[in-house]
Structure 1
Amino acid sequence: MTTEIAGQITTTPTPDLGLSAANTQGVATLLARLLADEHVLYMRLRNYHWNIVGMAFGPLHALFQEQYEALADDIDDIAERIRMLGPNVPGTLTEMLQLTTLAEQPGDLPDDRSMIKQLVADHEAIIRNLRNDVRASDEQYDDMGTSDYLTGLMEKHEKMAWLLRAHIEQRG
């Protein structure tokens, strides 16, 4: 790749990671979708953090913050993983909304239980996508590194969903 910086032409070598160009693009595509999904969930967590009211304000305000801070780190790691493979990273809100599988809900401020249910649904949607992406990264794209990385992210989302579900779970 050739670029011009401060009037000087520089060449960035294409990574030679043992992946074909098609496999690299396939992995980058699924990572870009994941990046978009993480952004939508991040913004929903921020929205709910800012707008939570009622008796559960304190613990939910803190839990939502804990989760969006964790997602902020994951978002950066996902983008860096895409760059490690070589492709550019989508970096605009327009691109995120085009790539995401999660639905935006502008103006929707549900009660605390409904907020939690929505967040659990988002985490679970990401988990289901990650299960498929773990398999595809390994079996279809021959990228065990990304498969391993995605397995770790899936486990993080499983824990986040469990922590949220615990707030609305009822004893039988």
Structure 2
Amino acid sequence: MEQSRGKQTRPAEGLKRPPMDQFLVQELNQLLANEYLLFTRTLNFHWNVVGPRFHSIHLFLEGQYKELLEMTDDVAERIRYLGSHPVSTLKEMREEGSLAEDPGSFPSTTNMLAELCDGHQEINGQIQEILDKDSVFKADRGTEDLLIQLQRKHQKMIWMLKSHLATETENSHEPSRHN
């Protein structure tokens, strides 16, 4: 029992447990690092987008980085629930993450969106690899559920980014008028 201002309190349910399988915690920390790296890349592109689509892309990326920040927080909080500590410094994020960074690079709007799409696809694959290890989740359906939710969010972001990247002719569903 912990002492808090003269009262005895119990630690949170997850925190009183011994740390879960270190493999899972390591996988979640690597995921957390990649989520954070993609968040900072999205924020960078939000700040630095230019061109005729500035306003719409600026707002679009704002929505994406806000959602990524929530996703990052969810992963970190799950690691705490499992009785371990999330990576929490920029140095740790870079060491644990696998997403490449390109400091000082300011690509075109199209290339920004393509890079973000690639990042989401990489994380989507990373999540799938974790989920494919069924034995990890036999006693931890909460983490499995979190990963499935994160995967759905990344898949939606991939779809949205690809929709921004599509050309008018790729999206045309009207029959040709030149018969």
> What is the TM-score of this pair, normalised by structure 2?
0.82
The one-letter code matched in structure 1 to 2:82 is L
CA distance in 2, matches of 1:145, 1:15: 17
Please tell me whether Structure 1 or Structure 2 has the larger radius of gyration of its CA atoms: 2
Of residues 45, 57, 72, the one that matches 1:60 is: 57
Report the aligned-residue RMSD: 2.3
Match of 2:23 in 1: 26
User: Where does residue 174 of structure 2 map in the other structure?
Assistant: none
Does the 8 Å CA contact 2:137/2:143 hold for their aligned counterparts? no
Query: Separation in 2 of the partners of 1:25 and 1:12?
Result: 21
The one-letter code of the counterpart of 2:144 is S
Contact 2:24 2:136 in 1 (8 A): no
1:24 Cα deviation from its structure 2 partner = 2.5
Alignment-mate amino acid for residue 102 of structure 2: Q
What amino acid maps onto 2:93 in structure 1? M
Paired AA for residue 166 in structure 1? S
TM-superposed CA distance for 1:135, in Å, is 2.1
Percent identity, please.
36
Structure 1 counterpart SS, 2:132: helix
Between stretches 44-53 and 24-33, larger displacement belongs to 24-33
- 1:11, distance to aligned residue in structure 2 (A): 9.6
For structure 1, list consecutive stretches of 5 or more residues without a partner in the other structure.
Answer: none
Give the aligned length: 162
Deviates more, 1:141-150 or 1:44-53: 141-150
Q: Which runs of 5+ in 2 are unaligned?
A: 171-179
Find 2:90's aligned residue among 59, 70, 93. 93
